[in-house]
Amino acid sequence: MRIFRAVLPFVLLGCLPDIPDSGEAGDSADTGSGDTADTGDTGDTSDTGDTSDTGDTADTGDTADTGETGDTSDTSETGDTSDTADTDCGAVYADADGDGYGDPSAPDNECDDTGATVADNTDCDDTDPAVNPDAAEVKDRKDNDCDGSVDESAAVDADGDGYDSSTDCDDTDASVYPGAKEVRDGVDNDCDGAVDESAAVDADGDGYDTSSDCDDADAAVYPGATEVADGVDNDCDGMVDEAAGVDADGDGYDTSTDCDDSDATVYPGAKEVRDGLDNDCNGIVDG
């Protein structure tokens, strides 16, 4: 019975309801971390993070949208003004011969061009104005029309004087062509449309006019004539009788034609007489 009395107070204590007392500090254990999580409803203060919602002020960062005035970067698009300073002006080409066709090997830029240039670049010889894609092909050993072929459609040079029928006024005579010397022969030698206009007169008819004949009154005197011992410059070389033989007998005939230069009665053309001599130098005595 003594034992029962000793235990009874403890049994009674165990049956009593919890007294909400500050002694419920044991509740601190009861408040297990879960309850603190419940008070975490105060985490609604994090809901007051709607203040971060008032971060709609950040939304008023639409002012950043006014950064669309970043269209000022768009004003760099007005850098189209830099377009006005555009250096890509297109290519031009040197036209050294002035025929209107440019040299493909000499490109330039029209922005800084200082010389004679054209937009065309098809000239195959920019040193010759007669050579370009629109030129006529002539027989001159050049590719006049820049088609890659030489003299392919040019006329024939029949007389071989270097000029075809497109420029030669007589392609059957090799002494007649543009630039030939004009002589007095009734022919337009230089193809300038005039006959004998600048040729000197050939008074003695030996084929040489006064421009080369040293005695145009004597048909036996002209360049290339045979020099004879007659006191005359027969061949017009400036020397008299230089190549002729000596005329020992003074009959007018030297040893080149006189069959006896010791007898003045014997010479070509002398009268033949019966004297046992070949007076006329015809190879026959008294004949």
Q: Is the pLDDT of residue 77 over 90?
A: no
Residue 271's pLDDT band, with cuts at 50, 70 and 90, is very high
Per-residue pLDDT at 37 = 39
Report pLDDT digits (tens) over 197-230.
766 778 888 888 888 889 989 999 999 998 887 7
Residues 30-34 have a mean pLDDT of: 41
Q: How many CA atoms lie within 13 A of 255 on its CB side?
A: 5
Residues 183-206 have a mean pLDDT of: 82
d(C-alpha 100, C-alpha 131), whole Å: 11
Cα–Cα distance list, 254 to 20, 52, 228, 229, 243 (Å): 180, 144, 7, 6, 11
Q: Which residue has the tokens 């008032």?
A: 54
Report pLDDT digits (tens) over 117-141.
999 999 999 999 999 999 988 878 8
Per-residue pLDDT at 166 = 82
Q: Is the pLDDT of residue 25 over 50?
A: no
Residue type, 152: E
Residues 79-96 as b or e (16 or more Cβ within 10 Å = b): eeeeeeeeeeeeebbbbb
Largest interatomic CA distance in the chain: 224
Residue type, 3: I
Per-residue pLDDT at 198 = 66
Report pLDDT digits (tens) over 152-176.
766 778 898 988 888 899 999 999 9
Report pLDDT digits (tens) over 62-74.
444 444 444 444 4
Residue type, 249: D
